[in-house]
Chain A
Amino acid sequence: MDLNDTPQQAEYRAKVRSWLEEHKHEAPVLQGEGAIEDEHEAVEAHRAWQRKLAEAGLTGVTWPTEYGGQGLGPLEQVIVNQEISRAGVPGILDAIGVGMLGPTIIAHGTEEQKQRYLAAMLHGDEVWCQLFSEPAAGSDLAGIQSRAKPQDDGSWVLNGQKVWTTNAQFASFGLLLARTDPDVPKHKGLTMFIVPMDAEGVTVRGLRQITGDAEFNEVFFDDVALDPDLVVGPVNGGWGTALTTLMFERLTIGGGGEGMGYRADRFARALASDPAAVRDPEVRKRFGELATDLLALRFTGYRILTALQRGQIPGPEAGMGKVTVVNAAVAAGDLIADVIGPDAFSLDDEWNYLISFLPGLKSAGGTEEILRNTVGERVLGLPPEPRLDKGIPFSELRDKEREAAGASA
């Protein structure tokens, strides 16, 4: 076992580090003391920073070179992430686009789409958002109801609503999953579209969360006209396209919660500043247990990276890391609030934010329950639960559901 870089990786790391050393004074301050307060200003400063990172070859590290990427492996991407975090500067503005949506377009898009969208995405000139989840379809993503109807001229008209959409308030485009054929079973009637966020009929509304901030949005579509060249991948083959995005999502999250700041050493510092807490056996026990989980996550991350380096794609078991990190972070927030007392909920306190943010994170990127189902079935080989929707046209599903609800009532 060896956690060291290979000579080539060490050379790459040194190159990245020296660029960041030289340019980190140009990075905007987005969090903590001296942070830019105005949201629009902050976005523009962040966008400019992404452009600089892109010009230095530090975005889209794993993208093919013909689309402006570096054509390197996932480990080089990790090296860039580590060095950015070490330098204490923000990463890119559009991590969702560059990490998940761009790779989907690279895998399924037409050559024209790639030429039109990818470079502007990479440089942050056009930010993207992911329009998958809906109020009534999250875990059961294939149950989405947003409807795109084909027109005689080959274009489409879109109606429906999406939710939990990060960055929609300043995004130029969204990658959207819509139902295009309701008369076939639900996985078979979906299509992926590119939606210009400034199109007529698109409305973005901020969605405030427990934290008080609006990090997500709701997006509404009223008779939005979509040109034929906005379809990504095959018509009615959108489920396969979406699976690609979800695979990249897993890969993005695969690195674990350390990048999100849920680290044992950070929580240790908070507790160590209170001498009475350090001596309290109950505090030590609770901290020892949650810290064990966070450490396990870091080293599971190294196992996943090893697999990636060997060209393997992380399986659904990588999703278990999310369960571990969220629960350990919840336990940490709870413990720190117990130690600090009511003052932990001061408005500008980092723990106030952490404690409020985590309950929602539990459902983000797959609820704990759906993750456990997937791992139980795909990794342990346990049989699936009987389901009502197999082989049934989407349009008949609501009636079936009502029938079932009536039967059990």
Chain B
Amino acid sequence: MKIRVQTEAFDLGAEIDALRAGRLDVGAVASFVGYARDINDGSDVRAMTLEHYPGMTEKALGTLADEAAARWTLIDATVVHRVGRLLPGDPIVLVAVASRHRGDAFAACAFIMDALKTRAPFWKKEETPAGERWVEARASDDAAAARWADKVGRPD
């Protein structure tokens, strides 16, 4: 499992190449990339700054990846999350999961993202025409994370 927190941008293709390097048993890679939007909660967003809790962040992301590996049959996974000031269109987060078959990769990728949204210590502050504001947590993110609690490990 590769976990990174960084200010620099990332390249999805390069990350997937690194994930698959030397592993010809990989039959599937599922990935998710989250981007900074120019609109949120009805306001224009000019930029956002991501703060995190150094130490706990890496530990929490590692725990999520380990939980996914315990639940599905995975070969490897990469999680990259950026911090610092980002502009609309900038990539924020990448999750890529390699497995033999697609079902495990799709499910583990979705699980890691849903869990990251509620358990990894990152906070967004947006710059809007009315000034700066901290982004509030969404109930829909709690619901998305909770849906994994009552499911069996393997997808149907």
| A and B found bound together | no
